[in-house]
Structure 1
Amino acid sequence: MFVLVNLKAYPSDPVAIATAAHEIADESGVRIAVAPQAAHLERVAETGVETWAQHISSVEHGSHTGSTLAEAVADAGAVGTLVNHSERRLRLADIDGALDAADRAGLETIVCANNPDQIGAAAALGPDGVAVEPPALIGGDVSVSQADPEIVEGAVEAATAVDDSVDVLCGAGISSGEDLAAAGDLGASGVLLASGVAKADDPRAALADLVEPLA
């Protein structure tokens, strides 16, 4: 299982969380990555943890003020990027362009979507993975794998029907080892989470609890 922790813009310590994630990944053998703010990418990557960007723009080098260039993200130490998170929605052409930019920079990609139909469409664009995240459950106390398991199963079926090499992650409300195990039982190959770690009183303990079923 792949555990991707999105720190969003929460008031957390990205280096402390990244250090804890790196240590727990080494101890447990579980693949754990952290996606910090773009300004923190280099500092997070220096901890040794697998580092992902939260977003990249569908642009090349040039006059694109305020854009997040894929090559700059890679230079900062990121190895992958989220695309089309529910809090950073893109038009279809921009999703496709961002995937091209990521490929150009050698970044792994996960495209986020709301439901199985969107997951199928996202998988057809050729990302490395997709993540199903019903917006109503994001940041909540109930995970999608518990509240609406049919969405996860449907997302896995939709992605597999298009391209069975595309990994499917389960997002929205993931916060515990029980949630992680449930996602795996439903066919997901990983989880995407944020507040369960970034807003935890003890992020290291939260991460340890999360991967405990896999350790």
Structure 2
Amino acid sequence: MKVVVNLKAYPCNPVEVATAAREVSDESGVAIAVAPQAAHLQRVADTGVETWAQHVSAVEHGSHTGSTLAEAAADAGATGTLLNHSERRLKLADIDAALDAAERADLETCVCANDPDQIGAVAALGPDAVAVEPPELIGTGTPVSKADPDIVTDAVAAAESVDDSVPVYCGAGISTGEDLTAAQDLGAEGVLLASGVAKADDPKAALEDLVAPL
């Protein structure tokens, strides 16, 4: 299982979370990546944890003020990126262009989508992974694996029908080891989570609880 911790714009200490993630990953053998704000990419990467950008823009070098250039994210230490998160939605053409940008910079990609139909559409674009995240469950503490497990199984089937080499991750409401194993049982090969770690009083303890069943 792959675990991607999205720090969003939460008022947490990104280095503290990244250090905890690296330690738990080393101790458990579970792959854990941390996606901080773009300005914190290098500080997080310097901890030795697998570091992802929260987004890269569908642009090349040029006049693109305010964009997150994929090459700049890679230069700062990122090895992967999320795309099309429900809080940073993109048109399909822009997802495609952002995937091209990530490929130029040799960044691993995970494209988020709201439902199984969208999972099928974005899987056809050739990302390294896709993630199903019903937006109404994000930040609620109620995982989709409990609220509507068919969304996960249908998302896995949708991705497989397009390209069976694209793994499906499960997001929205993930916070415990039980949530992680439930997602795994439904066919997911990874999870995305945010507040369960970024808002935790003890990020390392939260991550240890998350991966304990594995």
TM bucket by the smaller chain?
Answer: over 0.9
**Which residue of 1 is the match for residue 14 of structure 2?**
14
Two-structure CA RMSD over aligned residues (Å): 0.4
**Which of 173-182 and 201-210 deviates more?**
201-210
CA distance in 1, matches of 2:145, 2:13: 28
**Which residue of 2 is the match for residue 201 of structure 1?**
201
Q: TM-score, normalised by structure 2?
A: 0.99
**Which of 198-207 and 175-184 deviates more?**
198-207
What are the ranges of 5 or more consecutive residues in structure 1 without an aligned counterpart? none
**Which residue of 2 is the match for residue 175 of structure 1?**
175
What are the ranges of 5 or more consecutive residues in structure 2 without an aligned counterpart? none
Question: In the TM superposition, what is the alpha-carbon distance from 1:33 to its structure 2 partner?
Answer: 0.3
Cα deviation code 1:155-178 (max 9, x no counterpart): 000001100110100000000000
CA distance in 2, matches of 1:105, 1:167: 21
CA distance in 1, matches of 2:52, 2:74: 9
1:1-215 superposed matches below 5 A: 1-214=1-214
SS of the equivalent of 1:61 reads coil
SS of the equivalent of 1:209 reads helix
Cα deviation code 1:24-49 (max 9, x no counterpart): 00000000000000000000000000
Q: TM-score, normalised by structure 1?
A: 0.99
Question: In the TM superposition, what is the alpha-carbon distance from 1:141 to its structure 2 partner?
Answer: 1.6
The letter of the residue matching 2:146 is Q
Cα deviation code 1:111-134 (max 9, x no counterpart): 000000000001000000000000
Aligned residue-pair number: 214
Identity %: 79
CA distance in 1, matches of 2:177, 2:94: 35
Cα deviation code 1:64-114 (max 9, x no counterpart): 000000000000000000000000001111100000000011000000000
